Structure 1
Amino acid sequence: MKLKETLALLGEIMLLFSISFLAPLTVALYYKTPISPFLIPMVMSLIIGGFLRSLGAGEEIGIREAFLLVSLAWLSIAVLGALPYILAGEGSIANPLNALFESMSGFTTTGATVVVDFSIHSKAILFWRQLTQWLGGMGIVVLAIAILPRLSVGGSELMSLEAPGPQLEKLTPHIKNTARIFWGIYVGLTAMETLILITLHYIGIAPKMTPYMALVHSFTTMSTGGFSPLSQSIKAFSPAVQWIITIFMILAGANFALFWYLMRKDYRIIRNEEFRWYIFAILGLSLLTVPYLEHQFNLNFITAFRYSIFQVASIVTTTGYATMNFSRWVFPAQFILFFAMFLGGSSGSTAGSIKIVRWVTALKAIKRELSLSFHPKSLMNVKLGGIVVGERSIRSALAFIALYFIIFSVSSLFVILNGASVNLNPTDAMSAVAATLGNIGPGIGKIGPMANYLIFPPQTRALMIVLMWFGRLEIVTVLVLFTRSYWRW
């Protein structure tokens, strides 16, 4: 294990991360609120990062060190990101455990919150809260690869471990350029959404969508994070805003590589099988939900469809926004959303959960096994978009799904047993675990979109911090560190 070199690269990432505190510090100066909550962690990041950077030379790291570096980077950044909440000393997130929960939820783009009263927090703190999700959306390590020369060596392994999905599509021969392309598309779509929302505001269609609100909501739409500085989430805005955010949530949950090809006049997005299944899942579940909303709330089809596609897209893409309190929906409609929690967006997107491509691969593998049961001598390949999927990729998809549900089941049991004192029913517990492991945010019932996670005991919140960390890094990246074989390798 090249431990010193790994820590040196971690130091590089922390030095880069220190720059991010300048943005909320500027907001604090503008609104004349204390700057120390951002100045102190910025200085700490510089000192610790500088020290770690001095430990190693420029030696290349391997896949073994990459697992450790990516896992430590996300944990370290979440800890440093919690300091502004503690130092500000405002509300429930001033508590260290709650601050770490909120920070991990932000950087992993989960969107689960322990904030009770948004009105007591400064604009700078709320801005930092939104910014953490945007930084975590495309990935801190991916950003570091795009900017820092030392991380371009071995950057392919690092990027593949952090990027959501089972495989990373290398768009250019050099991984640094690929990282820059992904971040460029991400920044471009964020800017586009911000400009559209600001335009709606100035033409009178979205009076509450001020430039500040447009920017911070674009941060958490494109990152599929779902944080909002308003307790009512997107319910506070006009139908026009809800439609725009629905479109951008769907874009954020698609494979960003497809946008790169589209810009180069390569229209493979049309024939991409994963993308077709992704759109089909959102539209299909939305149409299934419409009749229940029409009947329960006496809505016309267009209004019911707006509510349903927004909420389904929000859950499938693991954004976690809400335009209604879906905890009050009838059970069948809530069950559709619960089912959607396990789908996830596309590989190479900012979405979490299991991912559509794994489900498609697994279903095709199952279909093949059924066919082989009565045609045992047949040679059958699993194909995705006309391309043969390797046996290793099939095993990886099936193993990931199995591992995901094992962790979900064990964690749900713990949350149910540990939540006996607060009368937590099994549905609430299971949806909370699904929402944190899948980086979705709100659950169903007591932890719905208009509630928070403070109802859970401290031990459960600590577990959920770990689940968010595991979920954002696709479980295996972190879990492998706890195996004996990793340290004996």
Structure 2
Amino acid sequence: MSVRVAWQQSVAFTGTILKYLAATMLVPLGISLVYGDDTIVFLASIAITVAIGLGLERLDDDPQLGPREGLLLVALSWGAVALVGAIPYVLAGYGTESALGDPVNALFESMSGFTTTGATATVEISFEQHSHALLMWRQLSQWLGGMGIIVLMVAILPEAAVNGAQLIESEAPGPELQKLTPKIAETARLLWLFYIGFTVLYVVLLLALHAVGAAPNMGVYNAVAHGFTTLPTGGFSPEAASMAAFSPAVQWLAIPFMLVAGTNFALFYFMLRDDYLSFFRDREFQAYLGANAGFAVLLWGLLFTGSAPALEVGGVTQGALENSLRQATFQVASLVNSTGYATSDFAQWDATSQAVLLFAMFVGGSAGSTGGGIKVVRWLVVFKSLRRQLFTTAHPDAVRPVRLGGQVIDEDVISAIYGFTLLYLIVLGTSSILLMLDATRVGLELTVLEAVSASLATLGNIGPGFGFLGPFGSYEEFPTTSRLLMIFLMWLGRLEIIPVFVIFTGPFWNE
């Protein structure tokens, strides 16, 4: 059978994306000039990235992407961006004491950044160990990956807009794309404008807290760094203690912005048009807020009554109303939408509190948000279709469509949601078993909870897990083979499995 996919076109367009990625490295290059560190690293990284991009572009002078070429582009570009994004880590010796960094650790950190996972394979995250420029690249990679690299390309490149709807649907989280304007390029620009606007607002408010003395260590660098990692639900921080390094005022401010990041950005378009009813009547948005509130209240009750011990860093104080309420609300908001920030080491909490957080990690953000996970809208459709199944079992002759917000959900969409959810759980279970087998091979003590949380944290692009994978822990104890598996899981989870798996099937390539 002949191959029908013009892979050269997809690879050539991937080269264009890499060429533009090199331009974003000018930000950490500028930081390196200010602080006088790692300038050569980023000059070399830019040169290498441009060379690779130009080389790949030569495979096709005028790439015209069809449906399958578009799917291949999405999968390839995210893998290529992570590979090239690892170059500064390798050159700077990130995560190792040798002159050049561990390539696997570098790729882990890069993939974790661009997929907004927030997991790290090194415990040495500080200005003493790494430069301001390298850590800013670490933050910036999450911001670029949050709204989506393909969405950005559709917004700025006319040739990408030709098949922009399909490209964005393959990249964007959620079962379907909500088109805001007749032209898909305009929709992409609107999404990025909302994203930039919220990022700028958050940075300004952080600096305002610093100016009034409510955030002593939140200077300009930290404010920008956390702006780059909160809105994309990334969770990387230049501080090893994450958000526990900052005042309660900073932690309270982060909560609404994490909730915004997990909200469907298309809803903000309705607010822009003064259509507030469409915003607040959205069933997914209501369920999303309800899930956050429910988990937060439950966890607050457990923390307030003393189920979690006092901790050294950002600890929970039994019977302290504000402290326990802040810890519970923050951790739930952080884990539901896969941000991964932490104000305390929840890996040391009791089993009941950890169980609440584990369930919260399964929820995910909204479709069309920067949040990871299975997504709220999918759970809504699953529960509504299960309720219909119970009804039609009792009334076999009844015809009862599944509705969401008054709209009938197409049966093909329901089947696709069931397929994705089942595939997600199969990948989660299989990878958990593989991690345990690999840990046994090298003599690493790994509990079932730690294995499941490692798989869930990487596949769901969440970041921290439980046990030694807690919010102040690291994935460096895993063997190289396990870290390679988790790199694949992060890539798989960011593109919601199907666009990656489909390129490994025969029917995709053959006529």
Query: What interval of TM-score do these two structures reach, taking the shorter chain for normalisation?
Result: over 0.9
- Residue of structure 2 equivalent to 1:8: 12
Paired letter, 1:423:
E
Higher mean alpha-carbon deviation, 462-471 vs 112-121, is at: 112-121
Q: Contact between 1:114 and 1:452, CA under 8 Å: does it hold in 2?
A: yes
Which AA in structure 2 matches 1:18?
A
Q: Which one of 299, 304, 308 corresponds to residue 289 of structure 1?
A: 299
In structure 2, distance between residues paired with 1:95 and 1:55: 31
- Asked if the contact 1:58/1:150 (under 8 Å) is kept, the reply is no
Q: In the alignment, what sits opposite 1:260?
A: 269
- Look up the match of 1:94: 101
CA distance in 2, matches of 1:245, 1:61: 40
User: AA paired with 2:383?
Assistant: L
Aligned-partner Cα distance in 2 for 1:97–1:434: 20
**Whole-angstrom CA distance in 2 between matches of 1:429 and 1:6:** 36
Query: What letter is aligned with 2:105?
Result: N
Question: Partner residue of 1:472?
Answer: 494
- Residue of structure 1 in register with 2:171 after alignment: 162
**Greater displacement, 317-326 / 301-310:** 301-310
- The CA deviation at 1:301 is 2.8
The answer to whether the aligner puts 1:311 opposite 2:320 as a matched pair is: no
1:120-143 deviations in Å (ceiling 9; x for gaps): 101001111000100100011111
Q: Of 402, 420, 423, which residue of structure 2 is paired with 1:403?
A: 423
User: Structure 1 residue 18: deviation in Å?
Assistant: 1.1
Question: Could you tell me which residue of structure 1 aligns to residue 48 of structure 2?
Answer: 44
Q: Deviations over 1:307-361 (max 9, x none)?
A: 1010001000100000010011111110011111111000000001100000000
1:340 and 1:482 map into 2 onto residues whose CA distance is 32
Determine the structure 2 residue equivalent to 1:35: 39
TM-score (norm 1): 0.98
CA distance in 1, matches of 2:85, 2:18: 11
Q: How far apart are the structure 2 equivalents of 1:298 and 1:363? A: 36
Kindly indicate whether residue 448 of structure 2 is the aligned counterpart of residue 426 of structure 1. yes
Alpha-carbon separation, structure 1, partners of 2:154 and 2:49: 18
Question: Which of these residues, 107, 116, 135, is aligned with residue 109 of structure 1?
Answer: 116
Partner of 2:458: 436
Rounded Cα–Cα distance in structure 2 between residues aligned with 1:189 and 1:90: 31
Query: Would you say the 8 A contact 1:292–1:330 is kept in 2?
Result: no
Listed as ranges, the matches of 1:301-450 within 5 Å are: 301-420=321-440, 421-450=443-472
Preserved contact between residue 90 and residue 102 of structure 2 (Cα < 8 Å)? yes
Superposed displacement of residue 12, structure 1: 1.6
Aligned to 2:204: 195
> Is residue 484 of structure 2 the alignment partner of residue 462 of structure 1?
yes
| 1:62-211 map, 5 Å | 62-92=66-96, 94-118=101-125, 119-211=128-220
Question: 2: distance between equivalents of 1:77 and 1:42?
Answer: 13
Alignment of 1:238 onto 2:247: yes
> Matched residue of 2:364: which SS?
coil
Give secondary structure in 2 for the equivalent of 1:120: coil
Shift of 1:66: 1.1
- Consecutive unaligned residues in structure 1, runs of 5 or more: none
CA distance in 2 between counterparts of 1:376 and 1:178 reads 43
**For 1:199 and 1:364, how far apart are their aligned partners in 2?**
45
- Using the alignment, how far apart are the partners of 1:456 and 1:114 within structure 2? 9
**2 CA distance for matches of 1:257 and 1:264?**
11
Query: Distance between the aligned counterparts of 2:426 and 2:139, measured in 1?
Result: 32
SS of 2:401's equivalent in the other structure is coil
CA RMSD of aligned residues (A): 1.1
User: Aligned letter for 2:303?
Assistant: L
**Counterpart among 21, 26, 33 of residue 30 in structure 2:** 26
Tell whether the 8 Å contact from 1:220 to 1:226 is kept in structure 2 after alignment.
Answer: yes
Letter in 2 for 1:271: R
Does the 8 A contact of 1:91 with 1:121 survive in 2? no
State the 1:304 CA deviation: 1.2
| Amino acid in structure 1 at the alignment position of 2:469 | I
C-alpha offsets along residues 167-201 of structure 1, whole Å, 9 cap, x if unaligned? 11111111111110000000000000000000000
Alpha-carbon displacement from aligned partner over 1:80-104 (angstroms, at most 9, x marks no partner): 1001011012433910000000000
Q: Larger % of helix: which?
A: 1
| Contact 2:230–2:339 (CA under 8 A) maintained in structure 1 | yes
Higher mean C-alpha displacement, 1-10 vs 462-471:
1-10
Shift of 1:59: 5.0
| Inter-partner Cα distance in structure 1 for 2:247 and 2:90 | 34
Structure 2 distance, partners of 1:315, 1:442, is 9
The alignment partner of 1:11 has SS state of helix
CA deviations over 1:17-73 (Å, ceiling 9, x no partner): 110110001111111113222122211222222232233243532221111100110
| One-letter code aligned to 1:195 | V
User: Could you list the per-position Cα deviations for residues 362-412 of structure 1 after superposition, in whole angstroms to 9, with x for gaps in the alignment?
Assistant: 110111111110111111010111100000110011111100000000000
TM-score, scaled to structure 2: 0.94
Distance, in Å, in 1 between the alignment partners of 2:185 and 2:61 is 20
The code of the aligned residue for 2:50 comes to L
Contact 2:300–2:324 under 8 Å retained in 1:
yes
| Residue in 1 that maps onto 2:318 | 298
Quote the residue 1:481 is aligned against.
503
**What secondary structure sits across from 1:131 in the alignment?**
helix
* Deviation sequence 1:431-460 (CA, Å, 0-9, x none): 011000000000011100010001111111
| SS class of match (1:419) | helix
3-state SS of the aligned residue for 2:362?
coil
> What do residues 438-486 of structure 1 show as CA deviations (whole Å, max 9, x unaligned)?
0000001110001000111111101000000000000001011111221
2:234 is aligned with 1:222: no
Alpha carbons of structure 1 residues 59 and 211: separation in structure 2 relative to 1, 3 Å: closer
Distance 2:68 2:49 in 1: 25
1:291 aligned partner, one-letter code? G
- Give, in whole Å, the separation in 2 of the partners of 1:361 and 1:340: 18
